[in-house]
Amino acid sequence: MAKHEYAFYPGCSSQKGASASNYLTSVESMCKTLDVKLTEIPDWNCCGASIGYAEAGELPRHVLNARNFALSEQNLPGQEMVATCAACWLGARETRERLTHSDTLMADTREALKEAGLTINEMPEIRHMVEVLIEDLGFEEMAKHVVRPLEGVKIAGYVGCQTNRPFGVAGESFENPVYLDKMVEMVGAQSIPEYDMKVTCCGGALAFSEPEKAQAQIKDIVESAYDHGAEMIVTPCPLCQANVEIYQGQVNKTYGTKFNIPVLYYSQLMVVAYGGSAKDAALNGQVIKARRLEEIAAKPVKR
Amino acid sequence: MSANTAMADKYRNNFLKEIEEQVEMGDWVKMCMQCGVCSGSCPTNFQSAWEHPPQELFMMIRAGKREEVLTTTSMWNCTSCYNCIVRCPRKLPITHIMHGIAEYAHRLGVAPKMQPTRFFSGLFWKNATKTGRVNELKLSMGLYFKDGLVQGIKNGMAMQAVALGLVKAKRLNVMELFGGHKCKDQKGIQSMLKKAYEIERSRKAARMAG
């Protein structure tokens, strides 16, 4: 039996062929090393994300998240629900909080869920994968498995918004969370605690609807990473990762910059440090190739 | 009578009450003390995108500036970064109030029709709830072609390099256009959401009736 077991909520962007499929691949390899068992919640649905607000309303949005709670409770009773995506985690947590604090909302939600033949008795705890790593495993346990430290690599820890606000990770500040820097150090790389764009917004969904506004944000985030001598950026959020990585070409056209910096997930760094191959870390999923990390992943491990 | 005129008529001269009863988290508006930390913390307000930043909207609501508030593009600039929420000294859930006012204006049919984020927001929700899961390709295509075929092709061309990079990295699948990921119990999702909308409508009507 695995050391830690959770009901897993991968989210839309993690699916095969979707924008964060490389995140999922690397999380799966990471969890194998750490003996964490993730069981996918059967038939889970989209959390609605923050951007659905114009049509979602209040109750429909909560009912959508509550369906996942009901499926989790029914199929994986007693297990906490773990999300890898910042928006999934935030959406689910927000719904759980609102339903906990309003009997009316809870009663209405139960009535709507009946239409899908579902019910909620006890809502699962909602956790983000980084919470599991930090709180349930701890840095010491995470560090134990490092067999190929990412020596000499300077990495800007970009936390972004939704993994950090409004809930955040317990014990961290909203203005200057340090867990990601600690994770960078944990894999043997060099962190940049003074990276001043670590909690700046990437523009979120506006990257689609109003790209010029989001790209002004992205420019600042990437520029600051370069200014601090970073070779790559690391993030816990699928939308941060995509926005900061894939629009660098367009930012270059608009601002005359020459950005070409890889943007990775924490799980990808960990997989390489844990001795995994480039494939295990899904480095083939980078639009801007992380050459330095690929080189390290090709090296033999230190046992 | 349009939904908008009906509401304006019902809450005549008391726009604050209208917001409190009809907008999610609207009952928080009166708690704002006009310090402006929200406006100073907003990434898109830094780019001067907001005609009226949040604390200004709160004062305008209290001053009964109904049409100006509901028809502004301001709150559609929210990126959902939640910076205003965590910094507000009076703990107003500002992000949710902004989404709430936007949703209300959209529901009444008075939100700016051509505002791209308003369009995208609706598109996203419909995309996600149709099958229970987001289809990223259809979502992007729907956005590009919002202003017609010619503009759609132009938009698509402008995004060609970005899309190609994603396809090569296997993070965008062209086959998604002909199906793609979905939930098994789509019927259950549709009926549960239909019920949720019904309940929400009746709750709001009851509040209005007092």
Average pLDDT score over residue span B183-209: 96
| Domain range A4-129, CATH class | mainly alpha
Tell me, what's the pLDDT at A184?
A: 98
Percent of chain B with pLDDT over 70: 100
Tokens of B90: 């009076």
pLDDT digits (tens, 9 = 90+) for A62-115: 999 999 999 999 999 999 999 999 999 999 999 999 999 999 999 999 999 999
Residue B209: is its pLDDT beyond 90? no
- Interatomic CA distance for residues A272 and A153, integer angstroms: 13
For chain A, the average pLDDT equals: 97
Average pLDDT score over residue span B28-47: 96
- Interatomic CA distance for residues B81 and B110, integer angstroms: 25
Question: Which residue of chain A is at minimal alpha-carbon distance from B166?
Answer: A287
Task: Decide if A264 touches B, using CB distance below 8 A.
Answer: no
- Interatomic CA distance for residues A64 and A56, integer angstroms: 10
Which position has the token pair 């989790």? Answer: A72
More confident residue, B153 or A120: A120
Tokens of A133: 């790593």
- Interatomic CA distance for residues B100 and A46, integer angstroms: 20
Q: Do B168 and A287 touch (CB under 8 A)?
A: yes
B-chain CB neighbours of A22 within 8 Å are 169, 171
Contacts of A118 (CB under 8 A, 6+ apart): A67, A70, A71, A74, B188, B192
B-chain CB neighbours of A177 within 8 Å are none
Residue B1: is its pLDDT beyond 80? no
Question: Which residue of chain A is at minimal alpha-carbon distance from B94?
Answer: A166
- In Å, what is the CA distance from A28 to each residue of A21, A129, A271, A281, B92? 11, 11, 9, 9, 39
Task: Decide if B141 touches A, using CB distance below 8 A.
Answer: no
Average pLDDT score over residue span B87-91: 98
Evaluate whether ipTM surpasses 0.85. Answer: yes
Tell me, what's the pLDDT at A303?
A: 65
Strands A232-235 and A190-191: what pairing?
unpaired
DSSP state of B78: -
Tell me, what's the pLDDT at A238?
A: 97
Which parts of chain A have pLDDT scores under 70? 1, 302-303
Q: Do B193 and A204 touch (CB under 8 A)?
A: no
Domains contained in chain B, CATH given: 3-114 (1.10.1060.10), 116-196 (no CATH)
Tell which A residues from 95 to 134 touch B, by Cβ distance under 8 Å: 104, 108-109, 111-118
Q: Where are the domains of chain A?
A: 4-129, 147-298
Question: Half-sphere exposure of residue A14, counting CA atoms within 13 Å on the CB side?
Answer: 23
Global pTM value: 0.96
How close is the nearest chain B Cα to the Cα of A188, in Å? 27
Out of B102, B139, B170, whose CB is closest to A21? B170
Tell which B residues from 66 to 95 touch A, by Cβ distance under 8 Å: 77, 79-83, 85-87, 95
Using the Cα atoms of residue A193, residue A196, residue A197 and residue A200 in order, give the sign of their dihedral. positive
Q: What is the CATH number of domain A147-298?
A: 3.40.50.11810
